[in-house]
Structures are given as structure tokens and as C-alpha cells.
Structure 1
């Protein structure tokens, strides 16, 4: 019967890898394909596919179902390969992954099951496609000049509505700066001046001490999504391999 043939093929393939039913984790990696793995199910070794774009990392590891991004570690080293072809959607080369933006060096896409979410690099950073994360501009090929510094590679740029913080461009790379105590940033002269200005009054308090400022920056940073774009997806079921 067809079922008997499929079962024979499954056991023949499984014979090349460690029997997951004889391991403590009940799950083992495939010996040829890094985006497949074997799991013991009711006493039988069954092959499964990782979600499209991910590779097997180990039980209770990775971003979902024991699978992770292939660039995270040595999950997919030669001679192992990804056998499943990419399934692309808008902005996503694979259903799961982190990908560069088509028109912006400061933005990127995190893709989860084919749904793309636009992310923004903060703090003067640019998206580095080799590192799959936000990085200093000097480390990003093809985006050497940050958009903030297009007008003047060595000038100052206002930071939103802030009265004491601003961007200082250094060779096209922005660095976050703060005006000295009791001074404010003037949007017309693009430098720190004695207040008041059209936008800023005389400060009522001095700048917070460095340790307090660091705590404020930390709290603000926690409001942003992490650059690596990790999520959890508990509702999606595993996809059993058809190969």
C-alpha cells in the first residue's frame, strides 16, 4: 500500500540519523538538511520541516519550534544545506527572517509567518544586512552617510522638540549630544546658546547626573522593539515534512 511505502521511506531515511525515540530530548537534527529535523511521535521517527527561512537549533531553542535564524550560529554549516525553497511575500524573502529595507538605510523588516513589520534603527544607527542588526554607520557598506547628515556631514541637527539634545554629525555619522547645563539648542544657529530662544525657555533645573540619565535612556530604549525582531508564536502548528 501507499502507506507502507511511505513508512518504509521514512524509516530508511531515519536510519541515517540517530533515532530520536532513543534520545532524552526525543528530537534530533537531520544529517543532511539543516531546515529539517526528526521527532519521536508515538514511538515512530517522523521528519518535520522548520518554518520557512529557519533552521533546526535544538529542542526548546531558537525563535519558534526549536528552529532559529540560520545566521545566529553554526546551525547550517557545510555540508548541510537548506533544502526547502524560499517562500516570499511583500518585503519578505522568506516567511521568517530579518531583511533590509528597499529604500531606507535606517529601517528594516522583521518577517513572521510572511507578515512584514517595519522597524527603525535608533540612536544614529543604520541597518547592517551582514549582521542582521542595527550598527554604526561606518560598519555598513553602501550607507556610509546617514540621512540625518545629508545637508552637512559635519553639522548639527535638532533632535525632535528637545531643547538640550541634538545630533552632531562627524564625517556623515550622527552622534547624540547634550548642551551644557543651563544652555539650550537653538534651531536657527544650530548650536547651544543662552536661553531663551523662540522654542525654548530658561531651564528650570540642571541636567540630571549621568547615572540618572543612563537610567532614563534605558527605560526609553525598552519601549522600542529589539533590533533582532524576536517574537513568540504559540498558536501556529508545526509543518510535517512532505519529503
Structure 2
């Protein structure tokens, strides 16, 4: 939680009075965690500060998940673990920026089924679904194409929606199109992918000798899928979420 708070006695009194008016809100100063959820709004919570109950707002687009949980400040994305279920609602309106419906969140791309945006404090970072996956707006993550409605077929499979496509310079990996969507495949041991017959064969071929046991570099998996576009940025993990400390918005 943030430090360096300077509250006037009036704000403390107002916060205490508001807490007292909500009988269902547990006094955070009487709990071990010193933090409790608001009883009506899932994007607000109460914290004990110097013996007083103070109400805080989660960053715009996030909801309260619990102390030391979520992506920042005890707050998380609304769709995770059903943190914001009826009758609770988000009371703060969305603050939108370019590509971001809220300051924090994960949002679909405007023109691509294989890309999406991660938004952190209003700054959008473009991400890419690899391995033949598409962005699923309902799951807020990359998913198998059959689980994604309303998305166009992948351009890799334009020539044959159920055929095979070479993967860069790889000798044992290739794309297998299934209903117009590519999935990454690997030839069985000691076989190589033949670019002419578009299937796994006994080596050698014009491009490949006996396959090695060394896996190709990760970027080789992506170069055909990107079709000349720049390399994608990594999907955010713990390092993405554990950024520098940020000042919490106060109610």
C-alpha cells in the first residue's frame, strides 16, 4: 500500500461517518489485514490508517481483490475470480485513452484477430497471439480459433484452409491449417518437413538433411505468422505487473 498520506481531520471524520453508515462494511481496524472491501462498490475499499477507516478507489478499470492480491494495490481485473458480481457495481466511470477503454485493462485490437492491447495507466502496448491462436474478447486472452466468434480466417491459410504451410526455415516444424486457422505442428522424430509435398518425409530434402536435436530459435516460430511485421512484445507477466510504486487515487 502507498505511503506518505496526509489527511486532514475533516476527511478522516467524513470517512469514518461514511463507514459507520454502512452497517455491512466491516471495520478494517478490527481485522488482521487492516483492509476490507466496500459493501456496494467493487472498485472501492476501506483501509485502516492511524486508527481511522479511510475509503480508497482502485485504479480506473480495476476492482478490489484483497490485500497483496491483483495486479496493483490490491486491485485486479474485474473478470478474474468474479471479483465484481451483482449486486456490486463499479461506480467510477471509465477514463479512456487511445486503444484503452479504461486506464487499466486488456482490450481487443481494432483491426486484427491475432493482436490485442494491454493498458497500464492509460498507456497501450500491442501484444500478439502466436501459435495459431486468436484473441478472445470474452476470456481476455489468446484462445483456440473455434472458441472465438466473428473473426476472419487467418491469412496463412488463404490458399488451403486445411493444408500445411512451411514455418520459416524450420526443417521439422510447420503450420497445419484447420478450417482456415493455423496450428503449430512438429514432424515425428527423424523426419523433416518437405516444402514441395507439404508433409513430413524421410530426409534428406532439398532444404533439410537429418534433423538435429537442437530446437530452432523462438523467433522462427513467428516470422511467417507476422508476415513481415515487427516482432511482438512479450505478454505481460509478473514483471509487467510489478512496476514502480504508484500513487493511489483517494476518494
| Common fold by TM > 0.5 | yes
Q: TM-score, normalised by structure 1?
A: 0.80
CA contact (8 A) 1:107 1:119 kept: yes
In the alignment, structure 1 residue 181 sits paired with structure 2 residue 189: yes
What secondary structure, in the 3-state scheme, does the structure 2 residue paired with 1:231 have?
helix
Deviation for aligned residue 1:209: 18
For residues 30-77 of structure 1, the C-alpha deviation after alignment (integer angstroms, 9 at most, x for no partner) is 111100001111111111000110000111111110101000022111
Cross-structure match for 1:216: 223
For residues 69-120 of structure 1, the C-alpha deviation after alignment (integer angstroms, 9 at most, x for no partner) is 0000221111110011111111111111111111111111111111111111
Q: How many residues align?
A: 239
Change in Cα spacing, 1:217 to 1:59, as seen in structure 2 (3 Å) is farther
CA contact (8 A) 2:42 2:64 kept: yes
For residues 158-198 of structure 1, the C-alpha deviation after alignment (integer angstroms, 9 at most, x for no partner) is 11221221111122232322234444333344334555555
1:211 and 1:118 map into 2 onto residues whose CA distance is 17
Structure 1 segments unaligned to the other structure (5+ residues): none
Could you tell which deviates more after superposition, 170-179 or 221-230?
221-230
RMSD: 5.3
Deviation for aligned residue 1:200: 3.2
2:69 and 2:227 map into 1 onto residues whose CA distance is 29
Q: TM-score, normalised by structure 2?
A: 0.78
Change in Cα spacing, 1:206 to 1:58, as seen in structure 2 (3 Å) is closer
Deviation for aligned residue 1:205: 6.3
What secondary structure, in the 3-state scheme, does the structure 1 residue paired with 2:185 have?
strand
CA contact (8 A) 1:148 1:174 kept: yes
Could you tell which deviates more after superposition, 154-163 or 57-66?
154-163
CA contact (8 A) 1:36 1:49 kept: yes
CA contact (8 A) 1:107 1:118 kept: yes
Could you tell which deviates more after superposition, 56-65 or 218-227?
218-227
Change in Cα spacing, 1:97 to 1:89, as seen in structure 2 (3 Å) is same
Could you tell which deviates more after superposition, 105-114 or 48-57?
105-114
Deviation for aligned residue 1:12: 4.9
CA contact (8 A) 1:98 1:229 kept: no
In the alignment, structure 1 residue 148 sits paired with structure 2 residue 148: no
CA contact (8 A) 2:95 2:103 kept: yes
2:176 and 2:225 map into 1 onto residues whose CA distance is 21
What secondary structure, in the 3-state scheme, does the structure 1 residue paired with 2:159 have?
coil
1:115 and 1:52 map into 2 onto residues whose CA distance is 13
Change in Cα spacing, 1:174 to 1:106, as seen in structure 2 (3 Å) is same
1:96 and 1:68 map into 2 onto residues whose CA distance is 9
